[in-house]
Amino acid sequence: MMDRRPCLAGTGAVLLATPLAVEAQQAGKVYTLGILSPHPSPSPEQRGRGPLSAKLKELGWVEGQNLKIERAYGEGREDRLPALAEELVRRRVDVIWALGPPSAVAAARATKTIPIVFWGVAFPVELGLVSAFARPGGNVTGMADRTGPEFVDKQLELFRQIAPAATCLAWITNPQSMRTVSGADHTPSMIPLSGATALGLELGRYEVHRGEDFDAVFAAVQAWRAQAIGLVGNPLTWRERKRIVEFANRNRLASTFGMKDFVEVGGLMSYGSDSRETVPQSAVYVDKILKGAKPGDLPVEQPTKFELVINLKTAKALGLTIPPLLLMRADRVIE
């Protein structure tokens, strides 16, 4: 892999500020952070090694010293999230960090008082999590993911440069991942109808609700004779990413995703925000809240940098030639 992003400057200044952050915390008090995620729980060796824990430690929060972490993982089942959120509330955690829309919505339904910091939610207003980006107004704030329909339009525009001959694009969605706090379904503009048409792509929409749906969806995609497959990404498709990528490559379908995780397992290309930057940003909000800030006063942040990742090995296997200018623009090229 080649990582073409510049090194981040100022690390030393941040580390020098850490003792001040520690002094600002109440001496002797141990705070509790609840982590709510639909994904499988990490191994003991993996705990504390992710970007969230690393940033919290940088800010002076050390698990086992001044911070206790209650981990609630859905183990691949989003239907478990409401009960897990209620359990975190019963344990009286000080802050809930919620990964993705289903977790954030489950947490918001479970409590109106415990602060919630979400990560990876594209439509926090539409889902009923906050009143507005600038002034969330309640007990929820966090780091949004993507910036609206123009994000998907850009994803397709980049994809078109790689696969100009593709005309039929199968787009996979999971409506259940966009359930609102009130219980209604939000049909997002992440289904790029207008953008696809402008690029000469005919779009076929395929819904999945659980892992068992993929075999039928794959058969339908083949029957439609799609030349490409795409999605933005949600907990269900993320868990099945290897299966999706293997289907696409086996059937010589060009593929485009909104998360680099799909490209790292063999997908063709992705365009999306970089979790190595956005997760630490959400940790900053956890820090501020533990130090007394109100979530309703903290504006919802949006990603400012998006990452283009191309799998050159997959492109060659599909007989596709990546334009040199696009390769130069890519943040990462997997060879």
Q: Are 38 and 74 in contact (CB under 8 A)?
A: yes
216-265 residue pLDDT tens: 999 999 999 999 999 988 888 988 999 999 999 999 999 999 999 999 99
Residues 162 and 25 in one domain: no
pLDDT exceeds cutoff 80 at 135: yes
DSSP calls for 72-92: EE-TT-GGGHHHHHHHHHHTT
Mark whether 218 and 316 lie in a shared domain: yes
Per-residue pLDDT at 284 exceeds 50: yes
Burial of 321 (0-12, 13-18, 19+ CB in 10 A): exposed
Average pLDDT in the 304-317 region?
94
Q: Answer yes or no: is pLDDT of 19 > 60.
A: no
pLDDT for the residue numbered 4: 46
- Are residues 235 and 327 located together in one domain of the fold? yes
Domain shared by 328 and 193, yes or no: yes
For residues 209 and 109, membership in a common domain is answered with: no
The residue type found at 202 is E
234 lies in the same domain as 294: no
Q: What pLDDT, on the 0 to 100 scale, is given for residue 178?
A: 74
Rg (CA), the chain: 21
Residue 294's H or E segment, with its range, is none
Higher pLDDT pick, 184 / 272: 272
* Cα 314-315-318 angle, rounded to 5 deg: 85
CATH number of the domain where residue 255 is located: 3.40.50.2300
Q: Please name every residue paired with 333 in a beta bridge, in sequence order, or none if there are none.
A: 2, 310
What whole-number distance in Å separates Cα of residue 86 and Cα of residue 109?
9
To the nearest whole percent, how much of the chain has pLDDT over 70? Answer: 86
* Residue with tokens 């000469």, as numbered in its chain: 200
Angle formed by the axes of helices 51-58 and 275-290, to 10°? Answer: 50
Question: Could you tell me if 59 and 200 lie in one domain?
Answer: no
Categorize the per-residue pLDDT at 26 as very low, low, confident or very high, splitting at 50, 70 and 90. low
Query: What tokens does 178 get?
Result: 């966009």
Residues 97-107 as b/e (b if ≥16 CB within 10 A, e otherwise) read bbbbbbbbbbb
What range defines the domain where residue 65 resides? 2-145+275-304
**What is the pLDDT, as a whole number, of residue 71?**
95
Residue 276 confidence class, pLDDT cut points 50, 70, 90: confident
Most confident of 10-19, 44-53, 115-124: 115-124
Residues 189 and 52 in one domain: no
Residues 123 and 164 in one domain: no
Write out pLDDT tens, residues 175-197. Answer: 777 778 987 766 554 556 667 88
pLDDT value, residue 333: 96
Nearest to 281 by CA among 260, 307, 301, 259: 301
**Which residues are 313's β-sheet partners?**
none
Does residue 204 sit in the same domain as residue 135? no
Do 102 and 138 sit in the same domain of this protein?
yes
Q: How confident is the model at residue 57 (pLDDT cuts 50, 70, 90)?
A: very high
* Number of domains observed in the structure of the chain: 2
Residues 83 and 171 in one domain: no
What 8-state DSSP symbol labels residue 295? G
**Joined tokens for residue 64:** 């086992």
Mean pLDDT of 46-73: 90
Identify the DSSP state of 320. Answer: -
